[in-house]
Structure 1
Amino acid sequence: MTKLRLSTIPDDRPVKITVELPAPVFRDLQTYAEILTRTTGEKIPLDPAKLVVPMVQRFMATDKGFAKAKRTIPVTIKGAV
């Protein structure tokens, strides 16, 4: 049998979730989208929902406590897609 360098391809399909935001957080998200639209010179206003994923990614990428725990604490994810 041929031995390949890749064994499995991780499932990277998007997962849809619904989140309720407090009104002040949503207004800030709208304001952030408007400022970003003006700053980048875009003609079409940015949908505030499009900011959520990069913001969460950035938050987790820069959280040193999370990075350390992720390396050292075994985690079992129940109900993984």
Structure 2
Amino acid sequence: MPRLKLGPIPDDKPIKVTLELPASLHRDLAAYAEVLARETGQPAADRIRLSAPMLARFIATDRAFTKAQ
């Protein structure tokens, strides 16, 4: 099975943000959290806590964004 793009979720000081997600994306986040928990051996991360590392990973790997900066 291929490895997920995310690893263990770091425990960092959060900034509160309100975000509306489509129900289908929320279900996908829940499923991703379960797969990540199995892969890392950690308890399943809160679905919302997955958003920050996913966004960070997306931004870090977006070549057009890096170029534009």
Deviation, structure 1 residue 14? 4.7
Structure 1 counterpart of 2:22, which letter?
A: P
Structure number, greater radius of gyration? 1
More contact order relative to length (CA 8 Å, sep ≥ 6): 2
1:7 maps to what in 2? none
Contact 2:34 2:44 in 1 (8 A): yes
* Residues in 1 aligned to 2:47 and 2:25: alpha-carbon distance in whole angstroms: 11
Normalising by the residue count of structure 2, what TM-score does the alignment of the two structures yield?
A: 0.73
Partner of 1:29: 29
Work out the CA distance in 1 between the residues paired with 2:14 and 2:25: 24
Q: Show structure 1 runs of 5+ residues with no match.
A: 1-12, 71-81
RMSD, aligned CA:
1.5
Q: TM-score, normalised by structure 1?
A: 0.63
Percent identity over the alignment?
A: 51
Measured in 2, the distance between the counterparts of 1:37 and 1:16 equals: 24
What does residue 79 of structure 1 align with? none
* Corresponding position of 1:65: 64
